[in-house]
């Protein structure tokens, strides 16, 4: 029970990696609040977790809206008085090239993937700095390797990577005892990857991209959300007490190329 009596918040928790993160933290003893803009999926996930005997509560949350962050964090403050772990996981992806990506889509992706992390870190510190804790910002392997079919996504996740370093340094200088790290999953089997908003790509372009990526993973398969959840547990727990401002890559060796 490595997370016994810890209070955790996971965004984008209704499905995929976020649900796996919430489940793993709760299994290890945490009281987990998980959020999502998908209220129907979130309520279903909440019922599933509670039926398994886990302490988990769902809150609807548009992570791109500051008012929603303040509401969610105030709910946790009233219920628990503190926050020990924040996992900024919510994100979206649209497959496009630099020539076909619209300004509207670029702004939308940065708002959900990057601005949300800024808001979570900015306002989450108030609940964390008294006792310390861990912030885990979910970036992507595309923040390290880049991806020609996802310029906006790659840019947003690269922003998450270096925002995390800046917040880590700030917390260290202030003596908050809050560790801040970025997590970089590779290609993971999730609803986001499966449904994959194809944007302006043709079916042939999308298939060619998926074939290329699949052939470049040294372990010859995509990862699972549970395999990434183990990394989240490590960064959330006291086992990573001397780790801050760095990247943890979970990609089956993809970045070795």
Q: Where in the sequence numbering do the catalytic residues fall? A: 153
Q: 3-class DSSP state for residue 87?
A: strand
List 85's β-bridge partners, or say none. 8, 134
Instruction: Give the residue from 248, 173, 255, 187 showing the smallest Cα distance to 16.
Output: 187
Q: State the Cα–Cα distance between residues 33 and 26, nearest whole angstrom.
A: 10
CB 110 within 8 A of CB 159: yes
Q: State the Cα–Cα distance between residues 32 and 8, nearest whole angstrom.
A: 5
Q: State the Cα–Cα distance between residues 141 and 170, nearest whole angstrom.
A: 25
The token pair that represents 127 in the structure block: 């609940």
Q: What angle do CA 57, 178, 229 make, to 5 degrees?
A: 50
């Amino acid at each position: 029970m490595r997370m016994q009596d810890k209070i955790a918040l996971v965004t984008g928790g209704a499905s995929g990696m976020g649900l796996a993160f919430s489940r793993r933290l709760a299994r290890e003893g945490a009281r987990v609040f998980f959020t999502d803009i998908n209220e129907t999926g979130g309520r279903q996930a909440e019922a599933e977790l509670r039926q398994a005997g886990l302490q988990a509560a769902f809150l609807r949350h548009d992570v791109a809206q500051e008012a929603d962050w303040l509401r969610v964090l105030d709910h946790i403050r009233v219920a628990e008085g503190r926050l020990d772990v924040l996992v900024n996981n919510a994100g979206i992806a649209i497959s496009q090239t630099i020539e076909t990506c619209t300004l509207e889509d670029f702004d939308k992706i940065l708002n959900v993937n990057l601005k949300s992390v800024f808001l979570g870190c900015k306002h989450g510190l108030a609940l964390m700095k008294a006792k310390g804790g861990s912030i885990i910002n979910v970036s992507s392997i595309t923040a390290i390797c880049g991806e020609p079919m996802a310029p906006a996504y790659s840019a947003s996740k690269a922003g998450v990577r270096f925002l995390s370093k800046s917040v880590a340094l700030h917390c260290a200088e202030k003596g908050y005892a809050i560790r801040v790290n970025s997590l970089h999953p590779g290609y993971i089997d999730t609803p986001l990857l499966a449904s994959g908003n194809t944007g302006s790509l043709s079916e042939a372009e999308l298939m060619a991209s998926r074939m290329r990526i699949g052939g470049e993973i040294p372990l010859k398969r995509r990862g699972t959300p549970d395999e990434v959840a183990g990394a989240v547990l490590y960064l959330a727990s006291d086992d990573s007490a001397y780790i801050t401002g760095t990247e943890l890559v979970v990609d089956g060796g993809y970045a070795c190329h």
